[in-house]
Amino acid sequence: MERSSDLRVKEIEPLDSPRAIKSQYAASPALIDAVLEARSVIARILRGDDPRLLVVAGPCSIHDPEAAMEYAGRLNSMRQRFQDRLFIVMRTYFEKPRTTVGWRGLLNDPHLDGSFDMSSGLVISRRLLLHIAEMGLPTATEMLDPISPQYIADLVALSAIGARTTEAQTHRALASGLSMPVAFKNATNGSIQVAVDAMVSAREEHSFFGVDEDGRCCVVKTTGNPETVLVLRGARGAPNYGGHTVDEACRLLAAAGLPEKVVIDCSHANSNYDHRRQEVVWREVLEQRARDHGRLVGMMMESNLLEGKQSPNVPPAELRYGVSITDACIGWDTTEILLEEAYAVAG
Does 8 map to a domain? no
The pLDDT, as a whole number, for residue 102 is 81
Average pLDDT for residues 47-51, to the nearest whole number?
A: 96
Distance CA 67, CA 55 (A): 20
The pLDDT, as a whole number, for residue 99 is 63
**Is it the case that residue 189 has pLDDT exceeding 90?**
yes
> How big is the CA angle at 100 (ends 7 and 16), to the nearest 5 degrees?
55
pTM of the model: 0.96
Which of residues 15 and 2 earns the better pLDDT score? 15
Does 179 map to a domain? yes
Does 6 map to a domain? no
Does 2 map to a domain? no
pLDDT in tens, 56-82: 999 999 999 999 999 999 999 999 999
DSSP sequence for 122-189? HHHHHHHHHHHHHHT--EEEE--SSSTHHHHGGG-SEEEE-TTTTT-HHHHHHHHH-SS-EEEEPPTT
Distance CA 316, CA 66 (A): 13
Distance CA 51, CA 159 (A): 21
Does 11 map to a domain? no
CB-based burial, 86-96: b 16+ in 10 Å, e otherwise: bbbbbbbbbbb
Does 79 map to a domain? yes
Share of the chain above pLDDT 70, in %: 98
Q: Could you tell me the CA-to-CA distances from 56 to 80, 106, 298, 320 in Å, in that order?
A: 15, 19, 8, 24
Average pLDDT for residues 93-119, to the nearest whole number?
A: 88
- How many domains in the chain? 1
Distance CA 319, CA 313 (A): 9
The pLDDT, as a whole number, for residue 236 is 85
Give the CATH number for residue 335.
3.20.20.70
Which of residues 243 and 292 earns the better pLDDT score? 243
Range of the domain at 99: 18-346
Distance CA 189, CA 200 (A): 20
**Is it the case that residue 314 has pLDDT exceeding 80?**
yes
Quote the distance between the C-alpha of residue 278 and its chain's center.
18
Does 108 map to a domain? yes
The pLDDT, as a whole number, for residue 200 is 98
159 pLDDT tier (thresholds 50, 70, 90): very high
The pLDDT, as a whole number, for residue 16 is 96
Distance CA 321, CA 318 (A): 9
Average pLDDT for residues 85-107, to the nearest whole number?
A: 89
The pLDDT, as a whole number, for residue 91 is 98
pLDDT in tens, 233-283: 999 879 999 999 999 999 999 999 999 999 999 999 999 999 999 999 999
**Is it the case that residue 100 has pLDDT exceeding 70?**
no
Average pLDDT for residues 283-303, to the nearest whole number?
A: 94
**Is it the case that residue 219 has pLDDT exceeding 70?**
yes
Distance CA 259, CA 343 (A): 24
Does 13 map to a domain? no
